[in-house]
Amino acid sequence: MSLSVALDIDPGIDDALAVALALRSSEIRLELVTTVAGNGPLEMTTRNALRVLHYLGAGHVPVAPGAPSPLSKPFHGALEYHGSDALADLDLPEAQKEPDPRPAHQLLFEFASAAPGERVVVATGPLTNIAIAFQRYPEMPTLLRELVIMGGAFGLTGYGTGNHTPVAEFNIWQDPEAAAIVFGSGARIAVVGLDVSNDPSTALDSTNLAKLRAGVTPFSRLAADLTGYAVARHSVCALHDPLALAVVLDRSLFGFAEGRVTVHTAGDEQQGRTILLAGAQEDSAIPLTAVAAAVEGARFKKLFLSRILED
């Protein structure tokens, strides 16, 4: 029996690569995609989610738009990294399908409550939708088997410093209030932060790109075009979001440190800083958060490439 997964995303080059990996992974079934403003405005990330699923032959997966802006801070995109359409300016065909009319928080709650304790949400954008769902449905955190988050920089490795500011990772910086709500919710949480996703052994380079370019399926074509855009500009393509999904696919790729995560929410130079208080409150009913502190990069990339390159 495969595991039911929902992706809450802001595509985004690496979000799109996470969708592709999810669709090629038989351990899981992608049941729902929800979108959030992050790498681009909500309308753009929603359109991109629809276009990616359509291109990969998965137009049946529902796409529900969520929050157009963070809970209480202004929205800032990352188009300078991801391209003017947040998807590498690829000009992917339109999906010819409308997004689901129901809001993301409602569909996320229905997804979790359909099988209490069995389902996983992987969130690879700002945590606004998840925070709204947890606030509207206070039982939701305990209904999930696990919430896997791409976000944060914890100083657990030499790579665990900020990418948006010197101290903060983009997703958490964008909506720190949402992140604080989610980390304090009592949900069982695993986090992939820059500590591992900025480790160069997890990023695609020009040799990997050449392999992708030799592929013939929509999966390899899309991955090659997205990767090619990033490699041309930054010499590698970081796989932050596929790495978060990999926690669900093969947990043994990671080593984790456990504790409580705090988030700096004030709008000053520390905004979005994440700190792991290791091993705190062992006796509390709230589960400790597992933060990735080590990764087998070569084995992860092998998994990613072999699945994307399947015929």
Interface residues with Ca ion (CB under 5 A)?
Answer: 10, 12, 15, 124-125, 241
CB of 12 to ligand BDR, least distance (A): 4
Binds ligand BDR by CB under 6 A, chosen from 4, 25, 35, 39? 39
Active site residues per annotation: 240
Residue 15 interacting with ligand BDR (CB under 6 A): yes
Angle made by CA atoms 106, 193, 115, in degrees to the nearest 5:
30
Q: 170 is in the binding site of which of Ca ion, ligand BDR, none (Cβ under 5 to 8 A by kind)? A: ligand BDR
CA dist 226 and 90 (Å) reads 8
The tokens for 90 are 């690829």
Which span sits near ligand BDR by CB under 6 A: 67-75, 97-105, 168-176, 287-295? Answer: 168-176
- What letter does residue 282 receive in the DSSP assignment? T
Q: Give the amino acid at 5.
A: V
Q: Residue 311: how many CB atoms within 10 A of its CB?
A: 7
CB of 170 to ligand BDR, least distance (A): 4
Which span sits near ligand BDR by CB under 6 A: 10-18, 111-119, 269-277, 278-286? Answer: 10-18
Strands (E), 124-188: 146-150
CB of 240 to ligand BDR, least distance (A): 4
Residue 129 interacting with ligand BDR (CB under 6 A): no
Residue closer to ligand BDR (CB basis): 123 or 143: 123
Residue closer to ligand BDR (CB basis): 159 or 219: 159
CA dist 200 and 236 (Å) reads 8
Residue 170 interacting with ligand BDR (CB under 6 A): yes
Residue 241 interacting with ligand BDR (CB under 6 A): yes
CA dist 272 and 143 (Å) reads 27
Binds ligand BDR by CB under 6 A, chosen from 171, 208, 220, 271? 171
CB of 279 to ligand BDR, least distance (A): 26
Length of the chain: 311
Binds ligand BDR by CB under 6 A, chosen from 16, 150, 179, 257? 150
Residue 14 interacting with ligand BDR (CB under 6 A): yes
The tokens for 97 are 């399908």
CA dist 240 and 228 (Å) reads 16
CB of 311 to Ca ion, least distance (A): 28
Which span sits near ligand BDR by CB under 6 A: 94-102, 137-145, 163-171, 271-279? Answer: 163-171
Q: Give the amino acid at 55.
A: Y
In the numeric block, the tokens 């030799």 are attached to 214
Residue 242 interacting with ligand BDR (CB under 6 A): no
In the numeric block, the tokens 């932050």 are attached to 240
Question: In terms of DSSP H, where are the helices of 154-239?
Answer: 170-174, 176-183, 194-197, 206-213, 218-234
Residue 8 interacting with ligand BDR (CB under 6 A): no
φ, ψ of residue 152 to 5 degrees: the values are: 95, 165
